[in-house]
Chains A and B, each alone.
Chain A
Protein backbone atom coordinates (compact mmCIF):
# COMPACT_ATOMS: atom_id res chain seq x y z
CA UNK A 1 0.00 0.00 0.00
CA UNK A 2 1.34 3.41 -0.91
CA UNK A 3 1.71 6.19 1.60
CA UNK A 4 2.66 6.00 5.26
CA UNK A 5 1.61 7.96 8.26
CA UNK A 6 1.66 11.68 7.63
CA UNK A 7 4.76 12.91 9.42
CA UNK A 8 3.98 15.07 12.40
CA UNK A 9 6.51 17.64 11.42
CA UNK A 10 5.11 17.59 7.93
CA UNK A 11 1.59 18.32 9.17
CA UNK A 12 2.76 21.08 11.46
CA UNK A 13 4.54 22.71 8.60
CA UNK A 14 1.25 22.93 6.77
CA UNK A 15 -0.48 24.37 9.80
CA UNK A 16 2.19 26.97 10.46
CA UNK A 17 2.08 27.82 6.86
CA UNK A 18 -1.70 27.94 6.76
CA UNK A 19 -1.77 31.63 5.98
CA UNK A 20 -0.37 30.69 2.63
CA UNK A 21 -2.31 27.41 2.44
CA UNK A 22 -3.39 26.79 -1.06
CA UNK A 23 -7.01 25.61 -1.00
CA UNK A 24 -7.88 23.31 -3.84
CA UNK A 25 -11.37 21.80 -3.78
CA UNK A 26 -10.84 20.27 -7.18
CA UNK A 27 -8.54 17.77 -5.55
CA UNK A 28 -11.41 15.29 -5.16
CA UNK A 29 -11.79 15.07 -8.92
CA UNK A 30 -8.13 14.50 -9.62
CA UNK A 31 -6.97 11.02 -10.57
CA UNK A 32 -5.33 9.01 -7.83
CA UNK A 33 -3.03 7.38 -10.27
CA UNK A 34 -4.51 3.98 -9.47
CA UNK A 35 -6.63 2.77 -12.35
CA UNK A 36 -9.19 5.38 -13.36
CA UNK A 37 -10.03 6.34 -9.79
CA UNK A 38 -10.40 9.90 -8.63
CA UNK A 39 -10.01 10.78 -4.94
CA UNK A 40 -13.78 11.14 -4.54
CA UNK A 41 -14.08 7.41 -5.30
CA UNK A 42 -12.01 6.71 -2.20
CA UNK A 43 -14.51 8.62 -0.09
CA UNK A 44 -17.38 6.74 -1.66
CA UNK A 45 -15.71 3.39 -0.93
CA UNK A 46 -14.87 4.53 2.60
CA UNK A 47 -18.43 5.65 3.22
CA UNK A 48 -19.63 2.25 2.01
CA UNK A 49 -17.38 0.43 4.50
CA UNK A 50 -18.43 2.73 7.34
CA UNK A 51 -22.09 1.98 6.66
CA UNK A 52 -21.43 -1.74 6.18
CA UNK A 53 -19.60 -1.96 9.52
CA UNK A 54 -22.07 0.14 11.49
CA UNK A 55 -25.32 -1.32 10.17
CA UNK A 56 -24.34 -4.97 10.53
CA UNK A 57 -22.85 -4.36 13.98
CA UNK A 58 -25.99 -2.47 15.00
CA UNK A 59 -28.36 -5.27 14.03
CA UNK A 60 -26.30 -7.76 16.02
CA UNK A 61 -25.97 -5.36 18.97
CA UNK A 62 -29.71 -4.79 19.04
CA UNK A 63 -30.45 -8.52 19.07
CA UNK A 64 -27.86 -9.47 21.69
CA UNK A 65 -28.51 -6.34 23.77
CA UNK A 66 -32.26 -7.03 23.88
CA UNK A 67 -31.74 -10.60 25.05
CA UNK A 68 -29.28 -9.43 27.72
CA UNK A 69 -31.61 -6.62 28.79
CA UNK A 70 -34.46 -9.09 29.23
CA UNK A 71 -32.13 -11.41 31.18
CA UNK A 72 -31.36 -8.60 33.61
CA UNK A 73 -35.05 -8.34 34.48
CA UNK A 74 -35.73 -12.06 34.97
CA UNK A 75 -36.32 -13.49 38.45
CA UNK A 76 -33.67 -16.14 37.70
CA UNK A 77 -30.52 -14.86 39.39
CA UNK A 78 -28.12 -16.83 37.16
CA UNK A 79 -29.38 -15.07 34.03
CA UNK A 80 -29.22 -11.73 35.80
CA UNK A 81 -25.64 -12.17 37.01
CA UNK A 82 -24.47 -13.35 33.60
CA UNK A 83 -25.91 -10.25 31.94
CA UNK A 84 -24.50 -7.97 34.65
CA UNK A 85 -21.03 -9.47 34.27
CA UNK A 86 -21.25 -9.00 30.50
CA UNK A 87 -22.16 -5.35 30.87
CA UNK A 88 -19.42 -4.71 33.43
CA UNK A 89 -16.81 -6.30 31.17
CA UNK A 90 -17.74 -4.65 27.89
CA UNK A 91 -18.47 -1.22 29.31
CA UNK A 92 -15.33 -0.91 31.39
CA UNK A 93 -12.68 -1.89 28.83
CA UNK A 94 -11.86 0.85 26.30
CA UNK A 95 -13.16 0.22 22.81
CA UNK A 96 -9.70 0.31 21.24
CA UNK A 97 -8.38 -2.30 23.65
CA UNK A 98 -11.37 -4.49 22.78
CA UNK A 99 -10.65 -4.08 19.08
CA UNK A 100 -7.01 -5.12 19.47
CA UNK A 101 -8.09 -8.14 21.52
CA UNK A 102 -10.53 -9.23 18.81
CA UNK A 103 -8.08 -8.58 15.99
CA UNK A 104 -4.72 -9.65 17.41
CA UNK A 105 -5.45 -12.05 20.30
CA UNK A 106 -8.70 -13.89 19.74
CA UNK A 107 -7.70 -15.39 16.35
CA UNK A 108 -4.75 -17.10 18.08
CA UNK A 109 -7.15 -18.84 20.48
CA UNK A 110 -9.16 -20.36 17.65
CA UNK A 111 -8.73 -24.01 16.68
CA UNK A 112 -5.98 -24.64 14.07
CA UNK A 113 -8.27 -24.84 11.05
CA UNK A 114 -10.23 -21.73 11.95
CA UNK A 115 -6.93 -19.89 12.46
CA UNK A 116 -5.68 -20.73 8.98
CA UNK A 117 -9.02 -19.70 7.54
CA UNK A 118 -9.06 -16.37 9.37
CA UNK A 119 -5.40 -15.49 8.83
CA UNK A 120 -4.70 -16.93 5.38
CA UNK A 121 -7.86 -17.76 3.44
CA UNK A 122 -9.64 -14.51 4.18
CA UNK A 123 -8.39 -11.31 2.58
CA UNK A 124 -6.92 -8.85 5.12
CA UNK A 125 -9.88 -6.58 4.49
CA UNK A 126 -12.40 -9.31 5.27
CA UNK A 127 -10.68 -10.41 8.46
CA UNK A 128 -10.40 -6.80 9.62
CA UNK A 129 -14.10 -6.30 8.78
CA UNK A 130 -15.14 -9.34 10.81
CA UNK A 131 -13.05 -8.22 13.79
CA UNK A 132 -14.49 -4.72 13.77
CA UNK A 133 -18.09 -5.88 13.40
CA UNK A 134 -17.75 -8.39 16.26
CA UNK A 135 -16.03 -5.80 18.43
CA UNK A 136 -18.56 -3.00 17.86
CA UNK A 137 -21.54 -5.36 18.08
CA UNK A 138 -20.53 -6.81 21.45
CA UNK A 139 -19.43 -3.42 22.82
CA UNK A 140 -22.70 -1.76 21.79
CA UNK A 141 -24.79 -4.73 22.99
CA UNK A 142 -23.73 -3.95 26.56
CA UNK A 143 -25.04 -0.42 26.16
CA UNK A 144 -28.28 -1.54 24.46
CA UNK A 145 -28.74 -4.05 27.30
CA UNK A 146 -28.76 -1.28 29.87
CA UNK A 147 -31.28 0.75 27.90
CA UNK A 148 -33.61 -2.22 27.44
CA UNK A 149 -33.38 -3.08 31.14
CA UNK A 150 -34.18 0.53 32.11
CA UNK A 151 -37.12 0.57 29.71
CA UNK A 152 -38.62 -2.63 31.10
CA UNK A 153 -38.12 -1.55 34.70
CA UNK A 154 -39.78 1.79 34.03
CA UNK A 155 -43.09 0.02 33.34
CA UNK A 156 -45.62 -0.34 36.17
CA UNK A 157 -45.44 -3.73 37.85
CA UNK A 158 -49.18 -4.11 37.37
CA UNK A 159 -48.65 -4.58 33.62
CA UNK A 160 -47.02 -7.97 33.99
CA UNK A 161 -49.48 -8.88 36.76
CA UNK A 162 -52.38 -8.13 34.45
CA UNK A 163 -50.84 -10.17 31.64
CA UNK A 164 -50.06 -13.07 33.99
CA UNK A 165 -53.63 -12.94 35.31
CA UNK A 166 -54.95 -13.47 31.78
CA UNK A 167 -52.84 -16.57 31.33
CA UNK A 168 -49.91 -15.23 29.30
CA UNK A 169 -46.65 -17.16 29.58
CA UNK A 170 -43.43 -15.33 30.55
CA UNK A 171 -42.30 -15.25 26.92
CA UNK A 172 -45.66 -13.87 25.78
CA UNK A 173 -45.56 -11.16 28.45
CA UNK A 174 -42.21 -9.91 27.18
CA UNK A 175 -43.18 -10.27 23.54
CA UNK A 176 -46.64 -8.67 23.64
CA UNK A 177 -46.71 -6.44 26.71
CA UNK A 178 -43.31 -5.39 28.10
CA UNK A 179 -40.98 -5.06 25.11
CA UNK A 180 -43.33 -3.11 22.82
CA UNK A 181 -43.72 -0.54 25.58
CA UNK A 182 -40.08 -0.58 26.70
CA UNK A 183 -38.75 -0.01 23.16
CA UNK A 184 -41.04 2.97 22.67
CA UNK A 185 -39.68 4.54 25.84
CA UNK A 186 -36.03 4.00 24.92
CA UNK A 187 -36.03 5.20 21.31
CA UNK A 188 -34.19 8.44 22.20
CA UNK A 189 -31.28 6.76 24.06
CA UNK A 190 -31.18 4.02 21.41
CA UNK A 191 -30.84 6.71 18.76
CA UNK A 192 -27.77 7.97 20.61
CA UNK A 193 -26.27 4.47 20.54
CA UNK A 194 -27.13 4.11 16.86
CA UNK A 195 -25.28 7.32 16.02
CA UNK A 196 -22.39 6.31 18.29
CA UNK A 197 -21.84 3.05 16.42
CA UNK A 198 -21.29 5.01 13.16
CA UNK A 199 -18.80 7.29 14.87
CA UNK A 200 -17.10 4.40 16.67
CA UNK A 201 -16.74 2.50 13.40
CA UNK A 202 -13.77 4.79 12.66
CA UNK A 203 -11.62 2.60 14.96
CA UNK A 204 -11.55 0.22 12.00
CA UNK A 205 -8.97 2.49 10.37
CA UNK A 206 -6.47 1.37 13.04
CA UNK A 207 -6.49 -2.22 11.81
CA UNK A 208 -6.33 -1.31 8.17
CA UNK A 209 -9.96 -1.40 7.09
CA UNK A 210 -10.34 1.40 4.57
CA UNK A 211 -13.50 3.00 5.91
CA UNK A 212 -14.24 6.69 5.69
CA UNK A 213 -11.63 7.92 8.18
CA UNK A 214 -8.88 5.73 6.70
CA UNK A 215 -9.66 6.93 3.19
CA UNK A 216 -9.61 10.52 4.42
CA UNK A 217 -6.17 10.07 5.97
CA UNK A 218 -4.90 8.39 2.84
CA UNK A 219 -6.20 11.17 0.62
CA UNK A 220 -4.57 13.73 2.89
CA UNK A 221 -1.26 11.90 2.62
CA UNK A 222 -1.39 11.46 -1.12
CA UNK A 223 -2.47 14.97 -2.03
CA UNK A 224 -1.24 17.04 0.89
CA UNK A 225 -4.69 18.69 0.75
CA UNK A 226 -5.21 17.78 4.37
CA UNK A 227 -7.85 20.45 5.14
CA UNK A 228 -10.01 19.66 2.13
CA UNK A 229 -9.92 15.95 2.92
CA UNK A 230 -10.91 16.37 6.55
CA UNK A 231 -13.51 19.00 5.72
CA UNK A 232 -15.21 16.60 3.33
CA UNK A 233 -15.06 13.80 5.92
CA UNK A 234 -16.59 16.10 8.54
CA UNK A 235 -19.41 17.05 6.21
CA UNK A 236 -20.11 13.39 5.36
CA UNK A 237 -20.20 12.30 9.02
CA UNK A 238 -22.38 15.29 9.88
CA UNK A 239 -24.90 14.74 7.09
CA UNK A 240 -24.98 11.02 7.86
CA UNK A 241 -25.72 11.64 11.54
CA UNK A 242 -28.38 14.22 10.81
CA UNK A 243 -30.10 11.83 8.40
CA UNK A 244 -30.01 9.03 10.97
CA UNK A 245 -31.53 11.34 13.58
CA UNK A 246 -34.29 12.27 11.15
CA UNK A 247 -34.88 8.61 10.40
CA UNK A 248 -35.15 7.69 14.08
CA UNK A 249 -37.48 10.65 14.62
CA UNK A 250 -39.72 9.19 11.91
CA UNK A 251 -39.62 5.79 13.59
CA UNK A 252 -40.58 7.40 16.89
CA UNK A 253 -43.51 9.20 15.27
CA UNK A 254 -44.72 6.04 13.60
CA UNK A 255 -44.70 4.14 16.89
CA UNK A 256 -46.22 6.92 18.98
CA UNK A 257 -49.25 5.75 20.95
CA UNK A 258 -52.33 7.99 20.95
CA UNK A 259 -53.19 9.25 24.42
CA UNK A 260 -49.68 8.74 25.81
CA UNK A 261 -46.88 11.25 26.37
CA UNK A 262 -46.45 13.21 23.17
CA UNK A 263 -49.21 11.22 21.45
CA UNK A 264 -52.27 12.81 19.91
Chain B
Protein backbone atom coordinates (compact mmCIF):
# COMPACT_ATOMS: atom_id res chain seq x y z
CA UNK B 1 0.00 0.00 0.00
CA UNK B 2 1.21 3.51 -0.77
CA UNK B 3 1.57 6.02 2.07
CA UNK B 4 -0.91 8.86 1.95
CA UNK B 5 0.74 10.63 4.86
CA UNK B 6 4.43 10.08 5.56
CA UNK B 7 5.99 11.67 8.66
CA UNK B 8 9.78 11.40 8.77
CA UNK B 9 11.88 12.38 11.80
CA UNK B 10 9.79 15.43 12.58
CA UNK B 11 10.94 17.63 15.47
CA UNK B 12 9.39 20.86 16.62
CA UNK B 13 10.24 23.42 19.25
CA UNK B 14 8.32 26.24 20.90
CA UNK B 15 11.30 28.40 21.79
CA UNK B 16 13.40 26.24 24.10
CA UNK B 17 10.65 23.69 24.65
CA UNK B 18 10.71 20.66 22.37
CA UNK B 19 7.11 19.56 21.63
CA UNK B 20 7.90 16.86 19.07
CA UNK B 21 10.98 14.68 19.06
CA UNK B 22 11.89 12.79 15.91
CA UNK B 23 8.41 11.52 15.15
CA UNK B 24 8.23 8.98 12.34
CA UNK B 25 5.13 7.19 11.10
CA UNK B 26 2.96 6.63 8.02
CA UNK B 27 -0.69 6.42 7.20
CA UNK B 28 -1.46 4.29 4.17
CA UNK B 29 -4.29 5.04 1.77
CA UNK B 30 -7.55 3.83 3.35
CA UNK B 31 -5.92 3.24 6.68
CA UNK B 32 -7.38 4.42 10.00
CA UNK B 33 -4.79 5.38 12.60
CA UNK B 34 -5.74 6.36 16.15
CA UNK B 35 -3.34 8.64 18.03
CA UNK B 36 -3.56 8.59 21.81
CA UNK B 37 -1.48 9.59 24.79
CA UNK B 38 -1.60 11.82 27.85
CA UNK B 39 -2.66 15.44 27.63
CA UNK B 40 0.20 17.68 26.50
CA UNK B 41 2.05 14.82 24.79
CA UNK B 42 1.97 16.60 21.41
CA UNK B 43 -0.89 14.80 19.64
CA UNK B 44 -2.62 17.95 18.41
CA UNK B 45 0.67 19.48 17.41
CA UNK B 46 1.58 16.43 15.35
CA UNK B 47 -1.64 16.32 13.36
CA UNK B 48 -1.62 20.09 12.87
CA UNK B 49 1.82 19.72 11.33
CA UNK B 50 0.30 17.39 8.74
CA UNK B 51 -1.73 20.18 7.14
CA UNK B 52 0.73 22.92 8.05
CA UNK B 53 -1.44 24.62 10.66
CA UNK B 54 1.76 24.36 12.70
CA UNK B 55 5.26 24.65 11.30
CA UNK B 56 8.02 22.22 12.28
CA UNK B 57 11.77 22.83 12.26
CA UNK B 58 13.21 19.42 11.41
CA UNK B 59 12.25 16.40 9.34
CA UNK B 60 9.68 16.16 6.57
CA UNK B 61 6.02 15.40 6.07
CA UNK B 62 4.77 14.20 2.69
CA UNK B 63 1.04 14.24 1.97
CA UNK B 64 0.04 12.45 -1.22
CA UNK B 65 3.47 13.14 -2.69
CA UNK B 66 3.61 16.81 -1.67
CA UNK B 67 6.14 17.98 0.89
CA UNK B 68 4.39 20.09 3.53
CA UNK B 69 7.52 21.86 4.77
CA UNK B 70 8.67 22.86 1.28
CA UNK B 71 8.54 26.66 0.89
CA UNK B 72 7.28 26.22 -2.69
CA UNK B 73 4.25 24.17 -1.67
CA UNK B 74 0.88 25.86 -2.21
CA UNK B 75 -0.35 25.44 1.37
CA UNK B 76 -3.96 26.60 0.89
CA UNK B 77 -4.30 24.09 -1.93
CA UNK B 78 -2.78 21.29 0.14
CA UNK B 79 -5.01 22.14 3.11
CA UNK B 80 -8.10 22.19 0.94
CA UNK B 81 -7.39 18.55 0.10
CA UNK B 82 -7.03 17.42 3.73
CA UNK B 83 -10.15 17.59 5.90
CA UNK B 84 -9.86 18.53 9.54
CA UNK B 85 -12.31 18.21 12.42
CA UNK B 86 -11.72 20.07 15.68
CA UNK B 87 -12.59 19.46 19.31
CA UNK B 88 -14.79 22.56 19.41
CA UNK B 89 -16.39 22.03 15.97
CA UNK B 90 -15.49 25.53 14.75
CA UNK B 91 -18.50 25.95 12.52
CA UNK B 92 -18.90 29.58 11.44
CA UNK B 93 -21.64 30.86 13.78
CA UNK B 94 -22.75 33.74 11.51
CA UNK B 95 -23.52 31.42 8.58
CA UNK B 96 -26.43 29.02 8.20
CA UNK B 97 -25.66 25.30 8.10
CA UNK B 98 -26.15 25.37 4.32
CA UNK B 99 -23.65 28.22 3.95
CA UNK B 100 -21.19 26.59 6.34
CA UNK B 101 -21.19 23.61 4.01
CA UNK B 102 -20.98 25.63 0.80
CA UNK B 103 -18.63 28.53 1.51
CA UNK B 104 -15.27 26.78 1.14
CA UNK B 105 -16.46 24.86 -1.91
CA UNK B 106 -17.32 28.18 -3.55
CA UNK B 107 -14.46 30.37 -2.31
CA UNK B 108 -11.65 27.81 -2.38
CA UNK B 109 -12.61 25.24 -5.01
CA UNK B 110 -14.48 27.68 -7.25
CA UNK B 111 -17.65 25.61 -7.47
CA UNK B 112 -20.92 27.36 -8.28
CA UNK B 113 -23.22 28.24 -5.39
CA UNK B 114 -25.87 25.79 -6.63
CA UNK B 115 -23.47 22.92 -7.04
CA UNK B 116 -21.95 23.59 -3.61
CA UNK B 117 -25.35 23.84 -1.92
CA UNK B 118 -26.53 20.62 -3.52
CA UNK B 119 -23.41 18.76 -2.47
CA UNK B 120 -23.68 20.19 1.05
CA UNK B 121 -27.27 19.02 1.39
CA UNK B 122 -26.34 15.55 0.19
CA UNK B 123 -23.66 15.29 2.87
CA UNK B 124 -25.97 16.77 5.47
CA UNK B 125 -28.44 14.03 4.63
CA UNK B 126 -25.69 11.50 5.06
CA UNK B 127 -24.95 12.63 8.61
CA UNK B 128 -28.68 12.61 9.33
CA UNK B 129 -29.24 16.36 9.61
CA UNK B 130 -31.01 17.35 6.43
CA UNK B 131 -33.91 18.85 8.36
CA UNK B 132 -31.54 21.37 9.97
CA UNK B 133 -30.12 22.89 6.78
CA UNK B 134 -31.69 26.33 7.34
CA UNK B 135 -30.61 26.63 10.98
CA UNK B 136 -27.55 28.29 12.44
CA UNK B 137 -24.81 26.46 14.37
CA UNK B 138 -25.92 28.03 17.68
CA UNK B 139 -29.29 26.31 17.29
CA UNK B 140 -27.82 22.79 17.16
CA UNK B 141 -26.56 20.49 19.92
CA UNK B 142 -22.84 19.77 20.20
CA UNK B 143 -23.19 16.34 18.61
CA UNK B 144 -25.15 17.79 15.70
CA UNK B 145 -22.60 20.57 15.22
CA UNK B 146 -19.77 18.07 15.10
CA UNK B 147 -21.62 15.99 12.48
CA UNK B 148 -22.08 19.15 10.41
CA UNK B 149 -18.36 19.87 10.83
CA UNK B 150 -17.54 16.41 9.47
CA UNK B 151 -19.91 16.97 6.54
CA UNK B 152 -18.27 20.35 5.92
CA UNK B 153 -14.82 18.74 5.75
CA UNK B 154 -16.17 16.04 3.42
CA UNK B 155 -17.68 18.64 1.10
CA UNK B 156 -14.16 19.41 -0.12
CA UNK B 157 -13.67 15.79 -1.31
CA UNK B 158 -10.63 15.31 0.93
CA UNK B 159 -7.99 12.68 0.26
CA UNK B 160 -7.58 12.20 4.02
CA UNK B 161 -9.26 13.34 7.23
CA UNK B 162 -7.64 14.53 10.45
CA UNK B 163 -9.61 14.47 13.70
CA UNK B 164 -8.42 16.25 16.84
CA UNK B 165 -10.39 14.86 19.80
CA UNK B 166 -13.71 15.18 17.98
CA UNK B 167 -15.77 13.88 20.91
CA UNK B 168 -13.97 15.36 23.94
CA UNK B 169 -16.17 18.43 24.14
CA UNK B 170 -19.41 16.46 23.88
CA UNK B 171 -21.85 15.30 26.51
CA UNK B 172 -21.64 11.48 26.84
CA UNK B 173 -25.00 10.86 25.17
CA UNK B 174 -23.81 12.60 22.02
CA UNK B 175 -20.49 10.85 21.61
CA UNK B 176 -21.87 7.84 19.78
CA UNK B 177 -23.71 9.76 17.08
CA UNK B 178 -20.37 11.30 16.09
CA UNK B 179 -18.40 8.05 16.38
CA UNK B 180 -21.03 6.34 14.21
CA UNK B 181 -20.43 8.85 11.42
CA UNK B 182 -16.67 8.36 11.76
CA UNK B 183 -17.04 4.58 11.73
CA UNK B 184 -19.09 4.70 8.57
CA UNK B 185 -16.49 6.93 6.98
CA UNK B 186 -13.72 4.51 7.89
CA UNK B 187 -15.65 1.59 6.43
CA UNK B 188 -16.00 3.47 3.17
CA UNK B 189 -12.23 3.55 2.92
CA UNK B 190 -11.40 7.10 4.01
CA UNK B 191 -7.81 7.63 5.12
CA UNK B 192 -8.06 8.86 8.70
CA UNK B 193 -5.75 10.06 11.42
CA UNK B 194 -7.74 10.43 14.66
CA UNK B 195 -6.57 11.82 17.95
CA UNK B 196 -9.05 10.30 20.39
CA UNK B 197 -9.31 8.60 23.74
CA UNK B 198 -12.32 6.56 22.63
CA UNK B 199 -10.67 3.16 22.92
CA UNK B 200 -13.86 1.37 21.90
CA UNK B 201 -13.70 3.20 18.59
CA UNK B 202 -10.00 2.34 18.25
CA UNK B 203 -10.70 -1.35 18.85
CA UNK B 204 -13.56 -1.45 16.38
CA UNK B 205 -12.26 0.73 13.60
CA UNK B 206 -8.53 1.44 13.77
CA UNK B 207 -5.92 -0.41 11.78
CA UNK B 208 -3.10 0.97 13.88
CA UNK B 209 -2.66 2.81 17.15
CA UNK B 210 0.03 5.38 17.84
CA UNK B 211 0.82 6.14 21.47
CA UNK B 212 2.61 9.41 22.21
CA UNK B 213 4.24 10.67 25.36
CA UNK B 214 6.27 13.86 25.88
CA UNK B 215 6.48 14.57 22.18
CA UNK B 216 7.67 11.13 21.18
CA UNK B 217 5.94 8.29 19.40
CA UNK B 218 6.36 5.48 21.93
CA UNK B 219 4.23 2.81 20.29
CA UNK B 220 3.16 2.46 16.68
CA UNK B 221 1.60 -0.93 16.02
CA UNK B 222 -1.51 -2.88 15.03
CA UNK B 223 -4.45 -2.49 17.38
CA UNK B 224 -4.36 -6.15 18.50
CA UNK B 225 -0.78 -5.75 19.60
CA UNK B 226 -1.45 -2.37 21.23
CA UNK B 227 -4.40 -3.55 23.28
CA UNK B 228 -3.05 -7.10 23.77
CA UNK B 229 0.56 -6.63 24.68
CA UNK B 230 1.80 -3.05 24.68
CA UNK B 231 5.58 -2.97 24.86
CA UNK B 232 6.18 0.19 26.88
CA UNK B 233 5.49 0.68 30.55
CA UNK B 234 3.99 4.12 29.84
CA UNK B 235 1.43 2.73 27.39
CA UNK B 236 0.44 0.06 29.92
CA UNK B 237 -0.12 2.72 32.57
CA UNK B 238 -2.04 4.93 30.14
CA UNK B 239 -4.28 2.06 29.04
CA UNK B 240 -5.03 0.92 32.57
CA UNK B 241 -6.01 4.48 33.50
CA UNK B 242 -8.17 5.08 30.48
CA UNK B 243 -9.86 1.67 30.41
CA UNK B 244 -10.95 1.95 34.04
CA UNK B 245 -13.66 4.38 32.94
Contacts and interface: CB of A to CB of B under 8 A. Distances in A.
B90 A156 contact: yes
Interface stretch (B57-65, B100-108, B195-203): B100-108
A260 B107 contact: no
B128 interface: no
Nearest to A184: B94
Contact of B137 (A165, A167, A169, A259): A259
B94 A168 contact: no
A149 to B, nearest CB: 19
A97 interface: no
A263 interface: yes
Contact of A168 (B86, B93, B104): B104
Interface in B41-67: 48, 51, 53
Given A257-B138, A258-B138, A167 B92 contact: no
Contacts of B91: 162
Interface residues of B, number: 32
B103 A176 contact: yes
Nearest to A158: B90
Interface string B204-234: 0000000000000000000000000000000
Contacts of A165: 51, 53, 79, 82-84
B90 A162 contact: yes
Interface string B124-161: 00000000000111111000000000001100100000
A166 B94 contact: no
A262 B140 CA distance: 16
B192 to A, nearest CB: 15
B88 interface: yes
A258 B135 contact: yes
Nearest to B87: A158
A180 interface: yes
B15 interface: no
B107 A176 contact: yes
Contact of A164 (B53, B83, B137, B156): B53
B77 interface: yes
B139 to A, nearest CB: 4
Contacts of B108: 166-168, 172
Contacts, number: 81
B138 A156 contact: no
Given A165-B51, A166-B104, A167-B79, A259 B139 contact: yes
A192 interface: no
Q: In this complex, which of A156, A257, A263 has the most chain B Cβ atoms within 10 angstroms of its Cβ?
A: A257
B102 to A, nearest CB: 11
Contacts of A168: 76, 104, 107-108
Contacts of B26: none
B93 A259 contact: yes
A181 B90 contact: no
B136 A258 contact: yes
- Of the listed residues A158, A163, A165, the one surrounded by the most CB atoms of chain B closer than 10 A to its CB is A165
A64 interface: no
Interface in A213-259: 257-259
B80 interface: yes
B130 to A, nearest CB: 18
A61 B167 CA distance: 44
Interface string A175-196: 0110011001000000000000
- Nearest 6 CB-CB pairs, A to B? A259-B138, A167-B80, A162-B90, A259-B139, A165-B84, A166-B104
Given A177-B92, A259-B139, 6 more contacts: A165-B53, A166-B84, A167-B108, A167-B156, A259-B138, A263-B136
